[in-house]
Amino acid sequence: MKKSLKLLVYAIMTLALMFVVVACGNQEETESEPEVTTGEEEQNEEVGKLEGQLVVYSSRNENFVQPLLEKFEKETGIEVLALHGAEPLQIVEEAGNVQADIYISNDLGALGYLHKEGYLTASNPEGIETIPAEFRADDNAYFAISARSRGFIYNKDMITEEEMPKSMEDLFDPKWAEVENGYAITRGGNGGMIGHVSALRYEWGDEKTAEWIEAIKEHAAGIYQGHGDIRRAVGAGEHAFGLVNNYYFHQQLLEPQDNNVGFIYLDQEDGQMGVIANAAGVGLVTNGPNEANAHAFLEWVLLPENQVAFVGESLEQLINSQYGAEYPAEVEPHIVEFSELKVQDMPIKELGNYFEDTKELIEKSGLDLDLR
């Protein structure tokens, strides 16, 4: 009996020891295996880290900007508060009580001016190297994404390409006031016009530029608030031609009617200055209230798909054309890359150095007030 009892106890102890060893082995195996997550779960976890708000001031057309901001909001979870129609001087006025995190402008001159005055601050977002150096500040406080050039949209039923003026200097000639229904320009306070006049000041100096402003103010048959008004008026035959950015020509081609229009890229001959260019982009506002979210937006908008989204329905041209923005069939044959154009020999960042004085020059002429 004693021998059998000892064997029974030994067997029980052996089984218990085996159970402990197996249990420990299972525990080590469980602890050593990392938790498996799908790519989607990792993305959701990353997005979950983004919260709070982002305040965006924009001077671009709301129809072009709002879809981009809604895309950002949906993909990141950050609530975007947008003020459309914001002028750059609003950033200046609020410097003592900063409200905006990001400023989006349709004029690189406005961004350059804000940066020069200290209202935009340095950044180094991932992907910034995709933007050519000439289209961004030296410290990346602002950068451009979409580009445009200036020229004349014209109504093919009223005037032929051969009859059209081919240079900015041509508008000094009063004969263009005699063309049927004349030509149209925007008021001087328009962002595109400010950039345009700044480029002329760089090329011609102030005296000749002031004379050009006086000439177009006197000779133009129509002075409009914006370029969209001009392209529709030209399409409808209310004016023979008008001074606009090239993408407004692209937009008019999509109209169901009044779309028999052409476009003249100016100053393309030998000895001429080349077409005037400008760009739209974003700037990081100094001391913005949501700094982390502002940096997240900059990196987000630099992603290739979002650079394409930045262009959106405006039909501007991507600075990075290799990202392949798709244009409607009516527009695609009329897209002209900057590499195919003779462009004014002016560093586009120079526009910021002329911005403030250009506004004063325009205001002195009264062109900023005129509408007709």
Question: pLDDT per residue over 52-89, tens digit each?
Answer: 999 999 999 899 999 999 999 999 999 999 999 999 99
**Which residues share a beta bridge with 281?**
105, 144
Q: Tell me the CA distances in angstroms from 309 to 86, 95, 109, 302, one per residue in order.
A: 21, 30, 22, 10
Stated length of the chain? 372
Query: 83 burial class (0-12, 13-18, 19+ CB within 10 angstroms)?
Result: middle
Contact, 165 vs 181, CB < 8 A? Answer: no
Angle at 33 between CA 29 and CA 38, to 5 degrees: 150
Question: pLDDT per residue over 230-275, tens digit each?
Answer: 999 999 999 999 999 999 999 999 999 999 999 999 999 999 999 9
DSSP labels, 188-249: TTSHHHHHHHHHHHHHH-HHHHHHHHHHHHHH-SEEESSHHHHHHHHHTTSSSEEEEEHHHH
* Residue 90 confidence (pLDDT) above 50: yes
* Residue 8 confidence (pLDDT) above 70: no
Question: pLDDT per residue over 266-301, tens digit each?
Answer: 999 999 999 999 999 999 999 999 999 999 999 999
Choose among 72, 73, 102: nearest CA to 86.
102
Question: pLDDT per residue over 118-157, tens digit each?
Answer: 999 999 999 999 999 989 999 999 999 999 999 999 999 9
For position 321, what pLDDT does the model report? 66
For position 128, what pLDDT does the model report? 96
Choose among 202, 154, 243, 166: nearest CA to 349.
202
CA distance 7 to 2: 9
Q: Tell me the CA distances in angstroms from 337 to 92, 147, 303, 351, one per residue in order.
A: 35, 10, 21, 21
DSSP labels, 158-176: T--TTTS--SGGGGGSGGG
Task: Compute CA 197 distance to the chain's CA centroid, rounded to the nearest angstrom.
Answer: 20
The CATH code for residues 51-147+278-323 is 3.40.190.10
For position 284, what pLDDT does the model report? 98
| Equal fold, 51-147+278-323 vs 149-276+331-365 | yes
* Residue 13 confidence (pLDDT) above 60: no
- Please name the fold of domain 149-276+331-365: D-Maltodextrin-Binding Protein; domain 2 (3.40.190)
* Residue 100 confidence (pLDDT) above 60: yes
* Residue 48 confidence (pLDDT) above 90: no
368 pLDDT band, cuts 50/70/90, is confident
Choose among 94, 130, 98, 136: nearest CA to 115.
136
Both tokens assigned to 260: 């028999």
347 pLDDT band, cuts 50/70/90, is confident
For position 335, what pLDDT does the model report? 87
**Which residues share a beta bridge with 82?**
56
What are the domain boundaries of the chain?
A: 51-147+278-323, 149-276+331-365
CA distance 120 to 352: 12
For position 11, what pLDDT does the model report? 42
Question: pLDDT per residue over 17-40, tens digit each?
Answer: 343 333 434 443 333 333 444 333
Choose among 159, 124, 152, 155: nearest CA to 140.
124
Question: pLDDT per residue over 187-207, tens digit each?
Answer: 988 889 999 999 999 999 999
For position 49, what pLDDT does the model report? 62
Across the range 179-192, mean pLDDT stands at 93
